[in-house]
Every structure is written in C-alpha cells, then in structure tokens.
A and B are shown apart, each in its own frame.
Chain A
C-alpha cells in the first residue's frame, strides 16, 4: 500500500467520524450517552416540564380509553383535570404510574426518565406518588405504622428486616400526623378511621414519601365541607415545592384551588383526549365543554 493511499484512507475515515459525531450531537441535543436516560433515575427538570405525555393511546377491546392524549405538566404546577365519566382520567393515572401500558405513545418524568420502561414501584421510588379514588390504606396496621411504611427509606427486603426508626424519621412522622390532623389517632387501626380520615391518611402517606409529583384521584370524595376546605389549603401550600395533578368532579373544590390565581390551568378530558385547557372560567364558558357535560 502506498503512503498516498493510506493518507487518503485516513482522510475519508476522519470525515466519516465527524459526520457521525455531528449526527449524534443532533440526536441527543449535544449531550453524551443517550443510553443513560433510563439508568440515571435523576429527575431532570431543565426543560421545565415534570411530566410529559405524548400521543398516548390505550385501548381495551377496541374501546379507546385514551386517544392520542398529549399533556404536559410544568414543574411546581398545580393542575386540575376534569371530565365526564369515562373520559380517561383514571386510565391516564394508570399509565403514568405504570399500572397500564399504553399501546403507543411516550411518557416522560422530567426529561430523562422514561416511565414506560419502569414498573409501579420503580416509578413510585422515582418520585411519583398516587392517591387512589377509593382511599387505600393498610387497614390492619395503625396510623403510625401506615406512615412508617410510606416514609422515604430503603425499599429492600434485607433493610426492612433490621429497620429501626431514627429520631429524625420519628419527627417526620410526628409532623405529618399533625399536618393530616391524625395525631390523636396515631395508635388506632387505620381500618377504624372515618372515610375522610382515611383520605387524609393516604394523603399523609403520599407526602411522607417525598414525591416530586402527586397524582390525586378525587381526593375530597366523601369529605365534609370543612375537611374539603382544609384539603384545598394543604394542596395550595404544596404548590411550588411539589407538582400536583388533581382529578376531581367537585367544581367547588376546583374553584377553591384555582380562584384568584392567574395562569392556573384546568384541563378538560373527553373521550380520551384533551377537549379544552385554560382557566376554570374559560373552560366553563367553552361551548364544547358545556355540550359534553350537559349532553346534546
């Protein structure tokens, strides 16, 4: 082989390498190693969105529960989601928390964590807490023990065998008990609480997990007016440090959450897609929304 040919070969290869590097930079926005997206587990909020659903479709036996749903929640936002029965609100939460796998679409937590690749418990550990429509607590454990299990700590089997509460953790449980007004019932079996108290306990269990995003499915169902009011206050106090998605039927509650705050948005879901988005007054004035709610 002559030196000329070798030099020409080296030139060609360098050009090819440069092209490949340029292409790669374009694909991952200049960042290295796109394969680490799943592995990191670090929540990346650089792009301002904490939750990003893109083109999600879920169908059950041909019925489309979610139909190319696209939705984005900003970091620190409190977003209310309303919609008639069967609009896909709960299915949307199932997709976000890993309970249901969509047929197509993408779901990201921050800009790096691909939710569709994680299991329920991994998603919870990544920082998404979920409250069910029906209050779900551990009925045969005491209120204190319920909070102790939810407390952010190691989730492995071995560590659970030798787990001892530290002083700080005890304080944290104490603070939460005060926050959810269950201090007096700490040693009571959770199954003996009233419906509203169970709702509060579940909210407390969510908070003590230290999630970044809270998904709340009808959090005030079965609560008295006073309890509802207190819940609204609690959620408003979380705004900013946490991101919240509240699914609710109770318009008064939505009103309490959004009143007087510019830029707080309400999303209306219908037949698995976003029908309208805007302030509560805007969506209530929307003809399509009225039609969906009142029927034709």
Chain B
C-alpha cells in the first residue's frame, strides 16, 4: 500500500544527518525541553503568564512518550513498509518492567504495610514469583525494559519474517499478539496485578516520585530521549541500511535477488522499533503513575499507527508532529466535547487518508507543499502588479 504513495526517500547526502535548519530545530527543541520548560514550571511564580502548570508538563511529557512510539512506528512502517498493529505490547512491556521496580520501591508503605506489593498480599502470596526475582534492582529492571520487548519482538519477528508473512496478514497477527498479551496480563495469576495493573508509586531510586523536581527530571529525561532517538533514526535512514529498508518497502524480491537477506534487515529494524517503544513505556509509567493491561488493547496499538499517518510517514519529524497533534486534539476534545472525540479522531484519519497522503508534514514540505504554493502565489501576484 505504501508503494503507491509518493513518499520521500533519503535526502541527497551532504550535511551530517540534518541540514542547517534541522540542527537549529534540534537545538531549539533541546533548549525548550531542558531549559525553558523547567524554568517556566519550577521558577516562574504560579500567577505569571509565563508559568507552565504541572498539568501541562505532565501532558507534554506523556505525549513525548507517545511521540517515541510514533517514531518507532515510522521506522518499521514508513520506511520498511511493515504495518505493525501490535506496538502497544512493546510499550506496555517496557512500562511493566519499570512498574515492577516502582512497586518494589513502595516497600512497606502500601495499604497492608507489608514488604510485598498490595496485590500480592491480597492474593495471599507469601513470596515473589520467579519473574520478580530482580525487581528490586533498578539496573536489572532497566535492562529488562530493553530486553523484554526486544526479545519478544526478535522471536516473533524471526518466525513471522522467516515464514514471509507480509502486508495485512502481518498486521493481523501483530494485533493477535497484543490481544493475547492483554488477556494474559489481565489474569491475576500472571503476577502483574491483573486488570488493576500497578499504581500508587511512591519513590524512584529512593526519591519521592510526586515532587515537582522529580516530575521535571522525568520530563527532561523523556525529552532528551525523544531527541536522541530522533537523531538515531535519522542516522539509520541516512545510512545504506536505511536505503535497504526503503528498497524492501518498494521491491522486496529485487532486494533478495540482489543478494541481501531481507529477513535480517527486517528483524533488525523491527527489534529496534520494539525496544524504542519499550523505553517509551518505561518513561511513561512514572510520569502517568499507572500501568495496566489497557495499554495492550488493539485500539491502543492502532492509535500509534494513526499518529504516524497523520503526521506523515517516512519523514521522522512527521510522526512526532502527528503524536502531538492527535493527542493535543484528544486532550482538548475530551475536555471541551468528550462525546465528539471518537468521531473527530475518525474524521481526522479519513481526512488524512483522502487528502494528505503524506500527512501534515507533507502538506508543508516540498514542491506541492503549502509553503511552496503560498510562496508561488504571492510571487505571481507581485508579478502581475508590476
């Protein structure tokens, strides 16, 4: 399906990773995330117009996690042409790995005043199940944030790609995968808190999690991670590896008959994409304060694809824009007109599919972009006046 769209491929090689404007953009983004927002939130007094509320910080922090997912989706869908409708499971696995550590950090401060998480006490468990063995170690759980989604993606991807499952068939089995994981995590016996999941976090690394400074720290870390992942993704699509991914999207058989093994390339980018989602999940959980199996619903995964499509596939910037646009609209709609939100989301997706095959970014960029057309129109007018 993606082969039909006039997607832009890698820019002609010249400057390192980004053009001048791109690097300025990255620097500005870094400045906003690491300086402007912290100052506006922590130092500017609450009455000032320049003050940024805690709510806004939390919202933007959350959306930045979503943006990482959309970026990960762009690598696998936009560039490689493989539509995953199960990326939510990787996000949730990363989130759960972080959540387990945060649950252990509660210590004996839970409702039952016992050194085990409340849900285990409630289930009358006397000791931790095997998969909680390293949950009190921050380093080990952070390793799991990467390893759990990475391993699942690697094994799943290996068998799917080896069997040459493609197109909608692949999308459908990814949906099945996230759905199966959701059902598994809903069960109390699985040891992940059943349908309530994990919540009521108190500390991270011994530091109270609900303080403004801690929240801001998490925000800054998330923002820097997003920027770092953007640059990583950029480096990937600018390399020969990235061009092979696009070649797989355009004509996989030609890639094969040229001597490349598509399996390895697909597996590499698929696993990387899953790991990025896992990291996003791990950053999301301490900021939002809850993780439960609803993150694995098929709809949650489909939303990631929508952000990517709305922003513009195979552009890297687009999916980030898309995540902000759709989620910004969502938080506005759900406050102003909660009953209309789902219709608005649907309308947005239809509009993008029909009128903006390259998404929001495609509208602005390039020869047929809005800017270019406006520029031409003004020039023409100026010419006719003369």
* Size category of the binding interface on chain B: 20 to 34
User: Are A141's CB and B243's CB within 8 A?
Assistant: yes
CB distance from B272 to the nearest CB of A (A): 11
Measured in the bound complex, the distance between the Cα atoms of B243 and A121 in whole Å is: 17
Please tell me which one of the listed residues A129, A140, A162, A187 contacts residue B250 in the complex, with CB atoms under 8 A apart: A140
Are the CB atoms of A141 and B264 closer together than 8 Å? Answer: no
B335 at the interface (CB under 8 A from A): no
Bound Cα distance A161, B249 (Å): 18
Q: Chain B 231-264, CB within 8 Å of chain A: the 1/0 string?
A: 0000010011101101101110111111111101
Residues of A within 8 A of B259 (CB): 121, 124-125, 155, 209
Contact of B247 among A141, A187, A209 (CB under 8 A): A141
| Complex contact A140–B257 (CB within 8 A) | no
Question: Contacts A129-B257, A138-B254 known; A160 to B241 CB distance under 8 Å?
Answer: yes
- In the complex, A188→B262 CA distance in Å? 25
B239 near A163: Cβ-Cβ < 8 Å? yes
Question: Is the beta-carbon distance between A145 and B258 smaller than 8 angstroms?
Answer: no
Expressed in whole angstroms, the Cα–Cα distance for A9 and B232 within the complex equals: 71
- Which residues from chain B contact A191 at a C-beta distance below 8 Å? 6
Which residues of A from 132 to 171 have beta carbons under 8 Å from B? 132, 136-142, 145, 148-150, 155-157, 160-163
Assess the B241–A141 pair: CB atoms within 8 A: no
In the complex, chain A residues whose CB is within 8 Å of the CB of B254: 132, 136-138, 202, 205
Which of the segments B7-15, B116-124, B212-220, B291-299 contacts the partner chain?
Answer: B7-15
Chain A residues whose CB sits within 8 angstroms of the CB of B9 once the complex forms: 140-142, 145, 189
Interface of A is mostly: mixed
Q: Is the interface of B mostly helix, strand, loop or mixed?
A: helix
Chain B residues with CB under 8 Å of A142's CB are 9, 12
Quick check: B239 and A160 within 8 Å, CB to CB? yes
In the complex, whether A97 has a CB less than 8 A from a CB of chain B is yes
Q: Does B265 contact A (CB under 8 A)?
A: yes
Q: Is A55 an interface residue (CB 8 A)?
A: no
Which one of A161, A187, A189 has the greatest number of beta carbons of chain B within 10 Å? Answer: A161
Tell me the smallest distance from the CB of A205 to a CB of chain B, in Å. Answer: 7
In the assembled complex, B3 has its CB within 8 A of some CB on chain A? yes
- Given A137-B254, A187-B12, do A149 and B243 touch, yes or no (CB 8 Å)? yes
What chain A residues lie within 8 Å of B257 (beta carbons)? 97, 120-121, 124, 129-130
**Once the chains bind, are B264 and A157 in contact (CB under 8 Å)?**
yes
Please, which residue of chain A has its CB at the minimum distance from the CB of B7? A140
A-B contact count (CB 8 A): 93
Give the distance in Å from the alpha carbon of A148 to the alpha carbon of B250 in the complex. 16
A162 and B239 within 8 A (CB): yes
The listed residue (A119, A155, A157, A189) touching B268 by CB distance below 8 A is A157
B255-299 interface bits toward A, Cβ cutoff 8 Å, 1 = contact, 0 = none: 111111110110010000000000000000000000000000000
Query: Which residues of the partner chain B approach A120 to less than 8 Å between Cβ atoms?
Result: 253, 256-257
Contact: B253 with A136, CB < 8 Å?
yes
- Give bound CA distance, A136 to B236, whole Å: 24
Contact B261 A160 (CB under 8 A): no
Taking CB atoms, residues of chain A closer than 8 Å to B250 are 137-141
Alpha-carbon distance A139/B248, docked complex (angstroms): 11
A98 to chain B, nearest CB (A): 9
In contact, A156 and B240 (Cβ under 8 angstroms) = no
| CA A145 to CA B10, docked complex, whole Å | 10
Besides A121-B261, A142-B9, A202-B254, 17 other CB < 8 A contacts? Answer: A120-B253, A124-B259, A136-B253, A138-B243, A138-B247, A138-B251, A139-B3, A141-B243, A141-B246, A141-B247, A145-B10, A149-B247, A149-B258, A155-B260, A157-B264, A160-B244, A209-B259
Residues of B within 8 A of A (CB): 3, 6-10, 12, 236, 239-241, 243-244, 246-247, 249-251, 253-262, 264-265, 268
Q: What are the 6 tightest A-B residue pairs by CB atom distance, in nearest-first order?
A: A124-B259, A163-B240, A140-B9, A125-B259, A160-B241, A120-B256
